[in-house]
Each structure stands twice: as structure tokens, then as C-alpha cells.
Structure 1
Amino acid sequence: MLRIGLTGGMGAGKSTVARILADLGAVIIDSDLIAREVVAPGTEGLAALVSAFGADILAADGGLDRQALAAKAFADDTSRATLNSITHPLVGKRTAELIAAAPGDAIVVQDIPLLVENGLAPLMNLVIVVDVAAETRVRRLVEFRGVTESDARARIAAQATDEQRRAVADVLLDNSGEPAVVEEAVRRLWRERLVPFEHNLRTGTPARRTEIRLVPANPEWAVQAQRLIARLWVACGSAASRIDHIGSTSVPELPAKDVIDLQITVADLAAADGLRDALGAAGFPARPEVTEDTPRPTPQDPAGTDVALWTKRYHQSADPGRRANVHVRVAGSPGQEYALLFRDWLRADAAARAEYLEVKRAAEAKAAGATGAEATLAYVDVKEPWFAAAYPRMLAWRDR
């Protein structure tokens, strides 16, 4: 099952996107509908709201007068917190029931207006944010929903900012144009990313590309890495002591393959093995055939021949839209320390970055025309001798 978080500011058009996804076959779990369900007449939720805010939030028929509740609940932060403390646990419980009832091969889209505010993004395999400028959303709320301008602005101000939503967005859907434009974008997303992602997740298949190609440095790599790291922390919990962005994409201004490398540090290999299923469910299936790094001279292994010291566990992202490698290494092992030192050295030394880029370009040229494992081996064959030779310089930089 693939879990997608769908969010956006009031008036952005989440419902439109959800409707398109439902037509394509997604299972939609609408938090607003659930929020209404859990405070319907006769429910424990409605009774709790009346106790907290007074009987004057009830309509003549005994149901909830939402405008009367909003006038009280959105008056200040304390009242809003009280509202959330009542409704959020009930919504969470009902949401869990609906997810459990979905088919194993479902693409479940959770339409959650307050996904960012409630810190739910790391729980999803992917987050879609419907993006529209605040002024356009105010106009839509006034024209199409009959909300007063002051009320629209107050509600928008009480939600996450556009910048906060964009920070968690794996996919940013611009819904400021004609309806046909966003519909085509959603259909393309479904076809090219969501359906393959679900298949890969269900079958434990990493998303792979066959070619080796360097691309210009992308400042978004660091932001994307942090989103993945947040998901990894949820999967790992206390089993990880640290999770780091490593490799070329962690070095600003360095061209690289568009693949994010991440390192999970654990106490021992038993802990690494214990994370296999959780990482797989989070969207990072294991590659059991990859069990070690290439040994190279280190203080722990001066001859560079002790393979046992370089043992690791290796996972890759199942998301075809964001390739990533996840290296699970033991704290203090040569591979774990080397990855961090190499990253920090390249960040600090412009000459080393330039030298390494030349090596990478030579490796890219050698791998040209090859595919799959053959391309990877050709690429690595050029880089490995340079890694070994660079190690004493890295140590000298560290100890300077």
C-alpha cells in the first residue's frame, strides 16, 4: 500500500485534485469528512465540544453549528488547541480504520488540510502539495464559498505558510491556471510516478535507471534529503543514532548523479537487520545482494583488506521520482567514518572538489554506452583508486 499525503491552503483546490485521483483509482481518505463524522449528533466528539465550548455551538436540530464553533475555536491559540485536542485523536482513530480496510495494492490518498501543522508529512510515502498564491485563494474563498474576506484571511493566517508547505512537498502542483492543466499534471503524476511507486513498494523493488549521467548541482538536493531523512527517522526510531546526507549530492556546487545518498548509523549489524521491514514499508526496499563497501586503507585496517570491517546493509528508494541510496552502517566502522569525513572534506576544500569532479567525469565517460550493473562497475572502477589515494589527504585535513 502506498500512502500519499495531499494538502494545500484553503482555496487551493485539494478537492479537485482528490477527485481526479479518485477517478484514476486512488482510495481517498478525506480528513474533513472524517472530522464531520466524528462530531455528528450522538457522538462522543460532539459531547466533548459542547463541554469545552458551550451549548451555544449547537444548531436548532441538535447538530454542530460550525460557524458558531469557528467563532470560538479560532479566536485564539488556546481555543484552537482545545479544539484540536478533542477532534484530532478521533480523526486519527477513524483514519487508521479506513487505512486498514484498504486493499494491499491500494494507492491511499489522505486529504489532510493540516498535514504540515500536525507534523504528518514524515508518515507518508509521498506528499503532494496543491500550490496557489494566498491572494488567489482569498479571492476564490470569497467568490465561490461565500466566505467574508476578513474570515478568509484569518483562516489562511492560522494555517501553515506557503514556504512551510513547500518544504515538505515531494510534488508541488500548481493549480493557479485552467482546470485542464492541473488535471493533466495529476494524470501524468499518477501514470509516471504513483503507479510505479506502488508496484515497487509492494514487490520490494528499488527504482533504478540504467544510465550513468552527471547533472549540475541542484540546491534542492539538500531539502529533498531532509524530507527523506524525516521518513527514515520515523522508520528507525531509537535504532538509529544519527542519519546523514552523504555523497556528492550533499556537497554544494558539486555536479553529481541525481541520486541522494543517506547514511543510517546503528549500534551493530543486528540493529541494521532489524530495520529491514520498517525501511521497506517506508519506501526503501533492501538490496540484500549488496553487503559491503570496497575495503581501503584506514587506521582500523591499514592494509585495506579486512572485508568484515566494511560490512553494511543497503537499501534503495522505490520512488521513481526521487532515487536514493540508503547505507546502514555500524557506528565507528571504517565505512561509516569514511562517508562522513569524505563529505566534510569536499565541502571544505574547493581544490579537492574540483579534482574529484574531474575523476567523476572520467568515470562517466568510461560508463557511457553501458547499462545496469555494467555501467555501475565501469563508473566505480575509475573512482576507487582515487578514493584510496585521497584518504591520507582527508586524514591530514582532519588532523591539521
Structure 2
Amino acid sequence: MLRVGLTGGIGSGKSAAARRLVERGAVLIDADQIAREVVAPGTDGLAEVVAAFSDRVLDADGALDRAALGEIVFADGTARQRLEAIVHARVRARTAELFAAAPPDAVVVNDVPLLAEVGLAPTYHLVVVVSTEVSTRLQRLARDRGMSRAEAERRIAAQADDARRNAVADVLLTNDGTLDQLHGAVDALWHDRLVPFESNVRHRRAVRAVRVTLAEPDPTWPDQYARLAARIRHAVAPADLRVDHIGSTAVAGLAAKDIIDIQLSVPSLADADGQLAERLADAGFPRLPGDWWDSPRPPGGQRWEKRLHGSADPARPIHLHLRVTGSPGWRYALLMRDHLRADPDRRAGYLMLKRGLAASAPDLGTYAMAKDPWFDEEHLRAEAWAASTGWRP
């Protein structure tokens, strides 16, 4: 099963994207619909809402008057928080039931307007945000829902702003054009990413790069890492394990293979081989088969054993290195990252080496081995730098 979080501001066209995903074959869990169900007449949820806001939020038939309630909570942040405390726990419980009831090969899309606000992003394999200019949203809310401009602006202001919402987005669907354009973007997302992603998760299959293609420095690499790290932390909870961005994508200004390297610190490799491996696989980070280790520095010592996981997401390859906290390989990964961050001359030398090797040794195995002599020498400079600066991992 693939768990997809879908969100977007009011008037963005999120519901249109959700309908298109259902047409393609997704199972939809609509948080707004569930929120209505948990405060339907006769429910404990409605009784608690009335106790908090009085019977002025009821219509003549004793059902919740959502417009009346909206006038209260969208103008008062404290009132909105009180309502959310009543509704959200019930919505989460019902959502969990619906996820559990979905077929094992389903792409389940959870349509959640407040996904960014309530911190749900790490619970999904992927988050899709529908983004639309505020001016367009205001026009749609007036045309489609009959809202006054003042009311529409109040509703928009009550939600996360675009920057906060976009920060959790693995996929950003812009919807300032036509409905056909939105459908085309959703269809491409479905066929190119969601369907193969689901299959990879179910079959514990990781995406593997076989050739070396250097990408120019991408300022979004740290943000991509942050979203991945949040998912990893959620997957391994309640264990509180250290997660670090390592490798070339962790060094600003350095061209790199478009593969995010992440280090997960584990107490032992036995821990890495236990439930941790299954939890990571369930979260979309399956273990790569085979034996994995780092070359010792200096050469000739016992190899530094580790576990290596990848990503089931066809559009975002990663290398997730599970190394024992305090081990030589664990320390070395952090040392080299920080050394290259601190020394622009060594960073420039490494970049020159990378470009030359990528041109002459484009397959991944040859490329990695060809860098070993440089690292054999560079680790001495890194250790000298660590000693002179008092660096600690």
C-alpha cells in the first residue's frame, strides 16, 4: 500500500485533483467528509461541540450549522484550536480504520486540508500539494462558493501560508491554468510515480542508479533531506536515533549525483537487522540485498561493515547508510562532510576529481572505486583539520 497525503489551500483545486486520482484508481480518504461524520447528529463529537460553543451552532433540525460554526472559529484562533481538539482525534481514529481496510496494493490518497498545520507529512510515503495563486483562489471562492471577498480572505488567512505548505511538498501541482492541465499533471504523477512507487513498497524494491550523472548544486537538496529524515524518524519511533545528511548533497555548492545520502545511527548492526529494517521498508526505505561496507582509512584495516537501504520512490533515489554510533565509518562520514564544508579549496579539488571520473568512469561501481585513492590521502588532511579545530562528530 502507498500512503499519499494530499493538501492545498482553500480554493486551490485540491478536490479536483483528488477526484482525478480516484478516476485513475486511487482509494480516497477525505478528511473533511470524516470531520462531518464525527459531528453528525447523535454523535459524541457533536455533543462536545455544542458543549463548547452552545446550541447556536445547531440548525433547526439539530444538525451542526457549519456556516455558523465557521463564523466563530475562523475569526478566533483560540476557538478554532478548541474545535480542532474535539474533532481531530476522532478524525485520526476513523482515518486509521479506513487505511487498514484498504486493499494491500492500493494507492490511498488522504485528502487533508490542514496536513501541514497538524504535522502529518512524515506519516505518508509522499505528500502532494496543490498550489494556486491567492488571486485565483479568491476568484474561485466567490464564483463557486458564493463567498464574499472578506470571508474568503479570512478563510485563507486561517490556514497555513503557501511557504509553510510548500515546505512539506514532495510534489507541487500548480493549478493556475485549466482543468485539463491539472488533469494532465495528475495523470503523469499517477502513471510515472505513484503506481511504480506502490509496487516498489509492496515488493520491498529499491530504486538503484547504475550510471553516474553529476547534477549541478541543487539548493533544494537540504529541504528534500529534511522531509526524508522526518519520515525516517517517524518510521523508527519510539527509538530516538540520530539522522544526518551526509555525502556530496550535504555540502553546499558541490555538484553531485542526484542521490540523497543519509546516515542513520544505530546501537548495533543486530538492531539494524531486526524490526528496524521492516519499519524502514514499510516507510518506503527497503534494505538493499547483499553485504555492504566502507573502505577503511587508512587502507589495509578491517572493513567497516554497515547496512544500506534505498528508496522505493522512483523519482527520489537515496542511500540510507545504517552505521553503528561511534564506529569508524560513522565518524568518517561526518568528518568528511564537515571538512569539505569548511575548506573551499579541498571542496574545489574534490569537484574537479568528480567531474573527471564521471566523464571517464560513468558506471557507479567504477566511479566509487576510482575515488578511493583521493579519500585515502584526504582523510589525513581531514584528521589534521579536526585536531586543529577541536571538531567532534
**How many residues matched?**
387
1:199 counterpart residue number: 199
2:301 counterpart residue number: 305
Distance 1:228 1:105 in 2: 23
Q: Which amino acid aligns with 2:292?
A: T
Q: What's the CA shift for 1:240?
A: 4.3
Q: What's the CA shift for 1:138?
A: 1.5
The answer as to whether partners of 1:240 and 1:265 remain within 8 angstroms in 2 is: no
1:300 counterpart residue number: none
The share of aligned pairs that are identical, in percent, is: 52
Q: What's the CA shift for 1:305?
A: 1.5
Any idea what SS the aligned residue of 2:308 has?
A: strand
How has the CA–CA distance of structure 1 residues 293 and 240 changed in structure 2, closer, same or farther, with 3 Å as cutoff?
Answer: farther
Any idea what SS the aligned residue of 2:296 has?
A: coil
Give me the TM-score of the superposition, normalised by structure 1: 0.95
1:329 counterpart residue number: 323
Q: Which amino acid aligns with 1:335?
A: G
Any idea what SS the aligned residue of 2:81 has?
A: helix
Any idea what SS the aligned residue of 2:291 has?
A: coil
1:287 counterpart residue number: 288
The answer as to whether partners of 2:75 and 2:154 remain within 8 angstroms in 1 is: no
Distance 1:189 1:213 in 2: 24
2:23 counterpart residue number: 23
1:3 paired with 2:3, answer: yes
Q: What's the CA shift for 1:239?
A: 3.0
Distance 2:125 2:365 in 1: 30
Q: How does 1:44-193 map to 2 (within 5 A)?
A: 44-193=44-193
1:265 counterpart residue number: 265
Q: What's the CA shift for 1:194?
A: 0.6
1:316 paired with 2:316, answer: no
Q: Which amino acid aligns with 2:376?
A: A
The answer as to whether partners of 2:28 and 2:109 remain within 8 angstroms in 1 is: yes
Distance 2:44 2:193 in 1: 40
Distance 2:244 2:135 in 1: 38
The answer as to whether partners of 1:239 and 1:266 remain within 8 angstroms in 2 is: no
Give me the TM-score of the superposition, normalised by structure 2: 0.96
Q: What's the CA shift for 1:389?
A: 1.0
Any idea what SS the aligned residue of 1:311 has?
A: strand
Deviations 1:113-146 (A, max 9, x none): 0000000001010000000012221121112111
The answer as to whether partners of 1:362 and 1:382 remain within 8 angstroms in 2 is: no
Any idea what SS the aligned residue of 1:264 has?
A: strand
1:395 paired with 2:383, answer: yes
Q: What's the CA shift for 1:162?
A: 0.1
Q: Which amino acid aligns with 2:339?
A: W
Distance 2:341 2:149 in 1: 49
Unaligned runs of 5+ in 1: 298-302, 369-374
Distance 1:53 1:290 in 2: 61
Deviates more, 1:233-242 or 1:38-47: 233-242
Q: Which amino acid aligns with 2:3?
A: R
The answer as to whether partners of 2:233 and 2:241 remain within 8 angstroms in 1 is: no
Distance 1:130 1:377 in 2: 39
Distance 1:53 1:304 in 2: 73
Distance 2:238 2:148 in 1: 48
1:371 counterpart residue number: none
1:383 paired with 2:371, answer: yes
Aligned equivalent of 2:336, options 328, 333, 342: 342
The answer as to whether partners of 1:45 and 1:87 remain within 8 angstroms in 2 is: yes
Deviates more, 1:263-272 or 1:159-168: 263-272
The answer as to whether partners of 2:259 and 2:316 remain within 8 angstroms in 1 is: yes
The answer as to whether partners of 2:266 and 2:322 remain within 8 angstroms in 1 is: yes
Any idea what SS the aligned residue of 1:239 has?
A: coil
Distance 1:281 1:311 in 2: 24
The answer as to whether partners of 1:246 and 1:340 remain within 8 angstroms in 2 is: yes
Deviations 1:43-100 (A, max 9, x none): 1111111111101111111111011111222232211111001100111111111100
Q: What's the CA shift for 1:7?
A: 0.2
The answer as to whether partners of 1:366 and 1:378 remain within 8 angstroms in 2 is: no
Deviations 1:288-344 (A, max 9, x none): 3133212222xxxxx64112xx11111001101111110011111011101111011
Distance 2:179 2:75 in 1: 35
Q: What's the CA shift for 1:2?
A: 0.3
Any idea what SS the aligned residue of 1:23 has?
A: helix
1:243 counterpart residue number: 243
Q: What's the CA shift for 1:354?
A: 1.1
Any idea what SS the aligned residue of 2:130 has?
A: strand
Q: Which amino acid aligns with 1:323?
A: P
The answer as to whether partners of 1:288 and 1:313 remain within 8 angstroms in 2 is: no
Q: What's the CA shift for 1:273?
A: 2.1
Q: What's the CA shift for 1:238?
A: 4.5
Distance 1:361 1:240 in 2: 38
Distance 1:240 1:339 in 2: 20
Deviates more, 1:145-154 or 1:230-239: 230-239
Q: Which amino acid aligns with 1:345?
A: H
Deviates more, 1:317-326 or 1:263-272: 263-272
Q: Which amino acid aligns with 2:372?
A: E
Deviations 1:345-392 (A, max 9, x none): 111111111111122123212323xxxxxx222111210111111111
Q: What's the CA shift for 1:266?
A: 1.7
